[in-house]
Structure 1
């Protein structure tokens, strides 16, 4: 049998095997057997050296034609097998398109995030800057620059985690205020709020945590008065607890403000008549504030005879507990999905 006859026979044989293939794996075996590096067609090319030189071009052309024909048949058969497999899958996996779609459950913002964003939106609208600082802070900025020298007894109220004698985990976000004032080189105005985590050596219980969040505000400019502070705090209370809220200021003491006041808001649950939330007083204590102490201004390079200011600090944890009726602060940090799902939008299955 001549090589040409052998070539024609191989072509016919390959076409039969391609037609008989019932799966892509079988089709791949045919391709390897005939067209692979060790395949039959490749072997014929090696036998071409036995032909006379004048016959080799014609034989090479025939081999290429057979190879091309087999490749085309394999590709056509592959497309056919893929279509058959897809049709079989569609038949076995019939979908009833009239059934309602599966609802995708969406997440929701954490209650502390919601409180923080509400407050940030309020103060950005009032022209404040948002400034963040270090959670690991120096003793100087955390205490001394805020009129709390090393011997001051008020430090006991903010017992904290010390890394060394001069480095600690900040007990409030007030160091951000001290650093910001220092950077302004005694030139006002300054209007900032400082959100962030703070740390104190409190025992963990329903109302205390060794880590919690805080937002403090600071305004320093010429002719700032207590009335400016009161107006700002009224806006804050109404933003968080409703437009009909009232506030009252009670004298207090903070080393970095003078005079200092505690701020109460009229109870949003009983409207001031007395209930379990306000402990029958009609008022709820929400934050501390006051006029910036002249010593704090002077240490930061501001002329206290020219500039004055006010500062306030509140805990978003406490605000969220009051606003949403949460009894245990630890719920905010345990990542319990049952708790967090309550704050989904109502349309997504939540309660708030």
Structure 2
């Protein structure tokens, strides 16, 4: 009888709580390499042959676009060398952003799965091992192919485009508020409740490696608030960023005074507005008062659709990085839709 060959999965570690320990039993910091992280999880080696590597050793708040896109390049090299899938581990604070940034440029059919942990390995109820096993099973499942970048957490599988961290402490912190998870890990099996496909094509990454050696776009995120007169947006615009995203009320609304600031900024750079509510899209044609969605579009701003502010920012940043400045509105129309 021919012995069955296990698939190879590349595991890239970026740091985060899943890799944090403490020497004195108090506050934890990143210490575990990718190799040690993989070796510490019983049963992981029965799922796949693991090629683990440490890509960074950072808390997720210290990750940046350059580091995440370097991990993307590493992941592409891994599947080109024969890996059946890739797992990236990192801290949870920026996981929803890192996963979406990688998803925008991921043009391989092989699964790329991002995971992490809410509790450190030294915690009596550490969740990292279970999350890593779920991610590994997701990475080798044939049904995971052609689904883009996925997030495996608490035995649920989410699309990178819609997942969000919705709790600061719970092990069930990750949810897809609008459309829900697309699958689950049940009794060692990966089960999807929706068919694959329908994902927008990846952004063109030709020349991205060279682009990363140059100054990268600056795209700040400005949240509006009660009584906002646009002062902060004016200050931000005066610093000459490459674009800006405004997190607006409700379906993407702002005050009349803030709307004037949006118009001033939009005359100089791309301005995208998104909803700060955490669920639901920007409006299209419901309201017409100053500061409404129709008014902001008339002033030159771009609606983010269903994308929340942090992901609208990443799409704008990525499109600028890829040189797609003439198609920004079309990109948001396509990628901001379900």
TM norm structure 2: 0.23
Larger radius of gyration: 1
- Tell which has more relative contact order, 1 or 2 (C-alpha 8 A, sep 6+): 1
Structure number with the higher helix fraction is 1
TM norm structure 1: 0.22
